[in-house]
Amino acid sequence: MKQFTDGISAILSSATQIPAMLAIAGFFAAPALAHHSVVGEFDTSREVELRGTVTKVEWYNPHIWLALNVIREDGRLESWDCEMGSPNQLIRLGWKKTDLPIGTVIRTRGNPARDDSKTCTTRTVTLDDGTPVFSRVGRPE
């Protein structure tokens, strides 16, 4: 499993539970096409891997935001907010907000915010079984 550094390592310790399948999930989804410089807000030299339950999907421009209850190893929950690309891009690929119902368990890889708030920009998002969701390669038929 990838080695992580700095203050988010506690959260990332739960990454050991993430199957290897997730490590190759980058194949399925290109990075979000941001409307601005990602590196100003997020630290692309660090990675975050999260497994959690979706509590809210904000399907608005300029970015979709997913609110997550992240399940830590010790059983505690942490609230995270993670951004995706524009909904316009996903709409044209056939995705709808309802394709990710509240309560769904997802896994995501991305980059954490520079201010160490529990915020990230996503690189990949999958269902718990590794199926890509809101992927930029399109919605499965």
Q: Look up residue 120 and give its two tokens.
A: 């990230």
Q: Answer yes or no whether residue 27 interacts with other proteins by CB under 8 A.
A: no
CB of 58 to other proteins, least distance (A): 6
Distance CA 48, CA 91 (A): 26
Q: Binding residue for other proteins (CB under 8 A) from 17, 117, 137, 138? A: 117
Distance CA 88, CA 60 (A): 9
Q: Binding residue for other proteins (CB under 8 A) from 3, 45, 88, 98? A: 88
- Number of residues located near other proteins, criterion CB under 8 A: 26
Binding site for other proteins (CB under 8 A): 33-37, 39-41, 58, 60-63, 65, 81, 83, 86, 88-89, 91-92, 113-115, 117, 119
